[in-house]
Structure 1
Amino acid sequence: MATTDASAYNNGTYSFEQQIFSLSWSTILSFGFKGEASEIASQTKELLVNVLEDKEIQKLIGIWNLVWGPGVYAGSLLSAIVPDKSLNSMFIVVPESDPEQAVVAIAGTNGSSLMDWIIEDFNVKETVPWPYGPSQTEAQISKGTYFGLDKLVNLESVDPTSNTSITAQQYLSTRPFKNIMVTGHSLGGALSPCYSLYLDETRSQWDLSESTIISCLPTAGPTPGDRNFSKYYDSKLSKTTHRQWNLMDIVPHAFNTELLAQVPDLYEPDLSASVDIKLLVRQIQRDTKSLNYLNVAPQAEDFPSQYYQPDVLIKHTKSKVAEDIWEFIQMLNASEKTLEQDGVPTLDIGSTLKFLIQALIQHTIGYIAHFNIDDFSKRLTPASKQSSVLVSKPEDGSGRLRKLLELLTKRPILLDLVQPTRQKLDELQAGEGPLWDAILTKVDQINQDKPNQGAQPVIFLVEDQTKPPSSDHCWSGGSSGR
């Protein structure tokens, strides 16, 4: 397939595969906006056009024309008080020198959206039947995958030729493409194979000649479905799927039981997983083991990476947010020592955050390095006129990240859940119920002393199995057994 061609493509210096990943990376442009889906789509389109028309970008990837989208689905768990953010977005571009080739780029996880994490990324405790194709396949996909795919299938964007809103599939039916490449990173790495299979299953609706070749380049994707889905997908599209995943990236290890077991040791000997990380992995394994998750193209060979020092965020992105994260990392050791001296339990927060920061680096910079698109990733920000790319910029400025995490490590707020029933945890995850109300009440109390508009709590659920549950529901700013 074309992605194995190492030569330059479309009059750019990058190979076809590098250009596809660059376009996939560009889907993050929607993450900085909030509001109605149509507003986010319009703002994202402006940035994307800026990128595609940038002369420095064109030297790398050639000229690509935006022909459909971006289509955006936006939402929020607390839509009455919290503005919607992009949860799913997608666009179609066509290279100037190869008009019979279309690329469908699907966005990954919007890290600034709690709903994106809960509804799509971690909604994996239940599966549903694959909604397209013959029912006898017994293929199952996670509820989160189904939610995301359903939104992508129904996304609409205005067709400039008819001034009507049409879906991506409807657009593809308007012109005869010989090749369609579907790509996505992270959550997009799980959704892009599903959307590819959707196009294959519905050919009669858009590909009357049934001759269009559908290819897929998913990167860093978690498992979209179970072993039956993996087998069914591979029977259809394995020859044109080139799944890429970083051996040191935790995301593509999810949610296969055997691969999840490798997560705590991924960064040894440079960094050991905290107790919190190990407990989290075990919990995910327990929740998903019976579902038999397996990624598509399971034989796809991983690529090796390296342990990155955190300051690579600064060297690689020159991002103000990255600098704040680096300052926070430098602060961790001093903060932990102070907490120990004061007798305040840290709940291993420092080690946990160090592990998660390394995971973030592997999930982003690890792929930029592998595909060798450093020039593109650095140019994306000034070309789009955005202020931050790699790490989503907090709404009140990048300094808020450091201050919020610093407050967390220096002044832990502990809530005794007593008996953490499934109903309580489900309510907390959904952003409702008495526990959620208690959290918001405490945050309001803190904000009265030091107002921080738009602040959201960072919640860790920690179970102490060495002591019986307390009968007293209380908040504490001091030491606690939990």
Structure 2
Amino acid sequence: MQDVLDTAVLDAPPAKAAPAQTITERMLEEFSFVGRWKRKEFKDGLLWDSWLTLRPDGTWAQNGTIQVATKPQNFRRDGTWTREEGTLVCAIGKSTLPDSSGSFTIDIAALIGDSEGLVGLPDFSWRQEMVTLAYIAYAGTLGEKGGQPTVLLELINRFLEELEPVNGKWDVVWGPGLVNAGFTNLVDTNVFYVVRDRRDPTRYVIAIRGTNPLSIYSILNQVSAVNEQELWPVEDLPRRKWPRVSEGVANTLKHLKRVRAQKGVPGTGLTLVDFLKQEVAACQSPLAIHTTGHSLGGTMSATVAMWLRELQGCEGSLSTRWDPKARCTIHSTPIAGFSPGDKRFAQHFDSAIGGTCDRLYNSLDVVPHTYAAEDMNYAKSIYEPMIDAGFAFKAAIDMMELQFTLSNINYRQVRDDTSALEGTLEPSQREFMAQMLWQHIEGYLKILGLSDFINAEEILTASD
């Protein structure tokens, strides 16, 4: 009987091979459409040029431009998606487009066939995350509701969720803290906030905003106050060897030290040191404290890192010590910052924190080339021969150098051995000041591959 069965099996006609799957069918089956798509489509009489990100957690985001008449309009929207056979139903959550609500559908096969290509979900670097957190600190600076801590908290939280490099990774745990100095309380002078990493709860980042262009006090008393310097006390050095920082940096640090988180934001009533002391006491593991910021925020991120380093250990007043056992590590990512202090301060910083400092500066950004003498000489011809800085700018640099010489003061960048990020001239900006501003803001986004993810103007002007 077994022989008959064996013969029957041998004589049976070969089974039909399953038809080969098309690429589209395989992508549909494997959910391989999850990722980032570059799309161009003509819809509702408008040309849409955008990136569409479909995440495996069922959320989506789209950003790009819509061609309105002859002028492109930037837009961003996001929400959640569900799959119904061969269609994605995208429910719209937030959108910068007028009258944009409800949902829309995407035919998955058409998406795969018509798009320019699937890039895949980007894997962002630590540098890209730090730059994003630094730029988020500018949220609402030029908006209608700047200067209100609870409003700024909402904006910061919004961008922490909206911006791809940091989406779903960080929580605000202190602040934002605001400094209101000068002639009016309607304009905030400084803003900083603290976030904790969801992936590693022992990692914190202190993000410090750069200059508020609406704050005359900040421009005159923080950024430009460089003709005088103040001592930076170091316990194990004789006073004559103490480093010095600019008067403006010293002023800014004094303000940041005193700030308490206001009612309605995390850490209410606590200063930054109070908060860190509380977190260290509550955690059995050592914490990693990172500082970052852009422009003045970059300068202050290095300065705050050094200040926090001085307040580790048990020597001196315990009321000011946030890490009595000196178990925590301090890291800094200063972005586009000018020199905070003199050569001794740079040496002191490099010795204490240099090994965990990643200073980022664009080779074509004027700001980080101030105020060290050798750097300022380079700044005078930074865009030549394509763009001349002009007599007034060069004369101002010469006058500043003369003033430093007469006052017997000097400046040096922290980690001045750092290689620059290589910038390229922006052809659309033909005037010196326009090129300088573009390099200082947009230049970093372009160099670090963030231009498609971060709209600096949208962050600055956000109001709700």
TM normalised by structure 1 equals 0.63
Does structure 1 residue 190 correspond to structure 2 residue 299? yes
RMSD: 2.6
Aligned counterparts, 1:449-468, within 5 A: none
Q: Which runs of 5+ in 2 are unaligned?
A: 1-120, 314-320
Partner in structure 2 of residue 368 of structure 1: 445
Q: Contact 1:381–1:387 at 8 Å: present in 2 too?
A: no
Q: Give the 3-state SS of the residue equivalent to 2:204 in structure 1.
A: strand
Q: Contact 2:312–2:323 at 8 Å: present in 1 too?
A: yes
Alpha-carbon distance change, 294 to 276 in structure 1, aligned in 2, over 3 angstroms: same
Does structure 1 residue 145 correspond to structure 2 residue 223? no
Aligned counterparts, 1:336-415, within 5 A: 354-378=431-455, 381=458, 386=462
Q: Contact 1:30–1:41 at 8 Å: present in 2 too?
A: no
* Count of residues in correspondence between the two structures: 328
Return the match for 1:96 from 198, 204, 211. 198
- Amino acid of the structure 2 residue aligned with 1:149: L
Higher radius of gyration, 1 or 2: 2
Displacement of 1:159 in angstroms is 8.1
- Distance, in Å, in 2 between the alignment partners of 1:275 and 1:160 is 50
Partner in structure 1 of residue 117 of structure 2: none
Displacement of 1:365 in angstroms is 1.1
Alpha-carbon distance change, 202 to 99 in structure 1, aligned in 2, over 3 angstroms: same
Aligned counterparts, 1:60-75, within 5 A: 61-75=167-181
Q: Give the 3-state SS of the residue equivalent to 1:374 in structure 2.
A: coil
Task: For residues 392-431 of structure 1, give each alpha carbon's deviation from its aligned partner in whole angstroms, at most 9, with x where no partner exists.
Answer: xxxxxxxxxxxxxxxxxxxxxxxxxxxxxxxxxxxxxxxx
- Distance, in Å, in 2 between the alignment partners of 1:379 and 1:23 is 12
Displacement of 1:84 in angstroms is 3.4
- Amino acid of the structure 2 residue aligned with 1:22: T
Return the match for 2:338 from 203, 210, 222. 222
Aligned counterparts, 1:5-404, within 5 A: 13-32=123-142, 39-54=147-162, 57-58=163-164, 61-76=167-182, 78-79=183-184, 84-131=186-233, 133-134=235-236, 136=238, 137-158=241-262, 164-175=268-279, 176=283, 178-204=287-313, 205-289=321-405, 290-310=408-428, 354-378=431-455, 381=458, 386=462
Displacement of 1:278 in angstroms is 1.2
- Amino acid of the structure 2 residue aligned with 1:14: F
Displacement of 1:115 in angstroms is 1.8
Partner in structure 2 of residue 339 of structure 1: none
Displacement of 1:308 in angstroms is 0.7
Q: Give the 3-state SS of the residue equivalent to 1:217 in structure 2.
A: strand
Of residues 89-98 and 287-296 in structure 1, the stretch that sits farther from structure 2 once superposed is 287-296
- Amino acid of the structure 1 residue aligned with 2:218: D
Q: Percent identity?
A: 26
- Amino acid of the structure 1 residue aligned with 2:193: F
- Amino acid of the structure 2 residue aligned with 1:195: V
- Distance, in Å, in 1 between the alignment partners of 2:132 and 2:235 is 32
Q: Which runs of 5+ in 1 are unaligned?
A: 1-10, 312-328, 330-353, 389-482
Task: For residues 45-84 of structure 1, give each alpha carbon's deviation from its aligned partner in whole angstroms, at most 9, with x where no partner exists.
Answer: 1111112233xx25654321000010000234x43xxx63
TM normalised by structure 2 equals 0.66
Quick check: which one's helix share is greater?
Answer: 1
- Distance, in Å, in 1 between the alignment partners of 2:398 and 2:456 is 40
Moved over 3 A (4+): 58-62, 131-135, 158-164
- Distance, in Å, in 2 between the alignment partners of 1:163 and 1:372 is 34
